[in-house]
Amino acid sequence: MPLRYALNLPNAGIASAAPVLAEFAAVAEDSGWDAVFLEDYVVYQAQSDVPVTDPWIALAAMAELAIA
What is the rounded CA–CA span in Å between residue 48 and residue 11?
Answer: 14
Three-state secondary structure call for residue 2: coil
Burial 5-41 (b: 16+ CB within 10 A, else e): eebebbbbeeebebebbbebbeebbeeeeeebebeeb
Query: pLDDT category, 1, cuts 50, 70, 90?
Result: confident
Mind listing the pLDDT tens digit for each residue in 2-52?
Answer: 999 999 998 888 888 889 999 999 999 999 999 999 988 777 777 778 888
Residue 57 scores a pLDDT above 80: yes
Q: Output the pLDDT for position 43.
A: 75
Q: Output the pLDDT for position 45.
A: 74
